[in-house]
Structure 1
């Protein structure tokens, strides 16, 4: 296996666009995240924000040109990546109220979330309960936010109209809180759906049918993040310093391990076998 590619931070040729490959429907297309954005995150993001900021932007790089309204696919793939890095994450349905600054009326998206055959009529984000953050990587699909970057929001929120501020001990998702976020041209209000709505969203046959594909794409996304963290000593030190024990363990074990990506887009790291001979292994197969 070739030596690990210690390239300057850039989008590696690892993960393929997120499955499943469904018939294309009319809708907006996800735009590219500038390469300079990834480089800035790797160079300057604080240790506790580094993986939380990098993974959504890295995901968007991989799926540039894909349909923008596949929020469940995005959340399931990102969730698999975060969970592999030891950062608990779960897709969660939301109601999103967008109020433009131009004085036009506000629009509510995602009300009454439900499946209609293989189409999800609603919107979802990825919720990181231990870190009080949520991620909306398909925000660009809405008319008011075309061209917007992935949103990584902290749950500074209201509950039943009462301003709560930053209270990470409260569970924004299970409390059906409303997180308020400012963007350049509008205000966003994300109201978490109920546990029952989240269970119905994830119980759909289509979700189960593509579970393995989402897991594999998430594994490649997490593997790419490890390779990028290890590409620069200062970035590696910051990644190790974050409050993520599992990520630190992975970096300690794999930062200097040779790695490569095959023709199917699967990253493998060279790992010592039981007899002492090293063999290429997928991230989720490595016994750590």
Structure 2
């Protein structure tokens, strides 16, 4: 959700699913939370008039350095799917409910992830079908994502830094230990009494204990 707000402030293009997924991959890594980028086919069904539209596909391809497909983040230990750029699709954007964050529904598992996750949002039913992990691996073995590896890591560290900063400013000390992820709780404790500095680029604020890298 933080990334979605930051993207809106930076006027980032809507079709940035792979960039955001790779950034999240590194952000979750800072918290020792396993994460996977997965290619997906998304079917949006209007339950009122029974119409449907399909976005992405299970066999994506690169063309002129652009992906013909859609990607999401799957969190295997938390069993949640994250689609930061769901609102690039007009049917979802009109509801103005932000990124899709959904737990699985006990579906059959394959390659460490459910084959299908169904999400209800307003009068829409969003059906995510995840491609095999090998398909995504082939997608990521392309010059564009390989060239962006350092940038993805830098952004991921900065997102994690910003999240820790938000938790420090919003959670009283006695509630920090209620954070279910030990590394997150430890980072919040580590930076609580440290000063923050504001970078010169885009005015992002980052706790000094995690990163001095600009967005």
Relative to the length of structure 2, the TM-score reads 0.87
Shift of 1:86: 1.8
Once the two structures are superposed, residues 227-268 of structure 1 have per-residue CA deviations (whole angstroms, 9 ceiling, x without a partner) of 11111343x544432221211221221121112122134735
1:74 has 2:13 as partner: no
Match of 1:221 in 2: 159
Which of 77, 86, 89 is residue 32 of structure 2 equivalent to? 86
Whole-angstrom distance in 2 between the partners of 1:197 and 1:188: 22
Greater Cα offset, 259-268 or 71-80: 259-268
Distance 1:222 1:181, change over 3 A: same
Would the aligned equivalents of 1:125 and 1:135 in 2 still touch at CA under 8 Å? yes
Would the aligned equivalents of 2:162 and 2:205 in 1 still touch at CA under 8 Å? no
Whole-angstrom distance in 2 between the partners of 1:258 and 1:173: 43
Shift of 1:102: 3.1
Whole-angstrom distance in 1 between the partners of 2:76 and 2:46: 29
Determine helix, strand or coil for the equivalent of 2:14: coil
Whole-angstrom distance in 1 between the partners of 2:104 and 2:85: 18
Whole-angstrom distance in 2 between the partners of 1:173 and 1:151: 22
Would the aligned equivalents of 1:173 and 1:192 in 2 still touch at CA under 8 Å? no
Once the two structures are superposed, residues 133-189 of structure 1 have per-residue CA deviations (whole angstroms, 9 ceiling, x without a partner) of 010010111121123411110011433xxxxxxxxxxx5654551111100121011
Would the aligned equivalents of 1:219 and 1:283 in 2 still touch at CA under 8 Å? no
Determine helix, strand or coil for the equivalent of 1:63: helix
Shift of 1:61: 1.1
Whole-angstrom distance in 2 between the partners of 1:283 and 1:153: 32
Match of 2:44 in 1: 98
Which of 32, 52, 62 is residue 115 of structure 1 equivalent to? 62
Whole-angstrom distance in 2 between the partners of 1:203 and 1:107: 29
Whole-angstrom distance in 1 between the partners of 2:73 and 2:185: 22
Whole-angstrom distance in 2 between the partners of 1:232 and 1:178: 35
Would the aligned equivalents of 1:80 and 1:219 in 2 still touch at CA under 8 Å? yes
Determine helix, strand or coil for the equivalent of 1:256: coil
Match of 1:209 in 2: 147
Higher-Rg member (1/2):
1
Does 1 or 2 have the higher relative contact order (CA < 8 Å, sep 6+)? Answer: 1
Whole-angstrom distance in 1 between the partners of 2:184 and 2:190: 10
Would the aligned equivalents of 1:259 and 1:267 in 2 still touch at CA under 8 Å? yes
Determine helix, strand or coil for the equivalent of 2:135: helix
Greater Cα offset, 171-180 or 254-263: 171-180
Which of 58, 74, 95 is residue 127 of structure 1 equivalent to? 74
Whole-angstrom distance in 2 between the partners of 1:248 and 1:233: 11
Match of 1:158 in 2: 107
Q: Which runs of no fewer than 5 residues in structure 1 stay unpaired?
A: 1-56, 160-170, 272-280
CA RMSD of aligned residues (A): 2.1
Shift of 1:117: 3.0
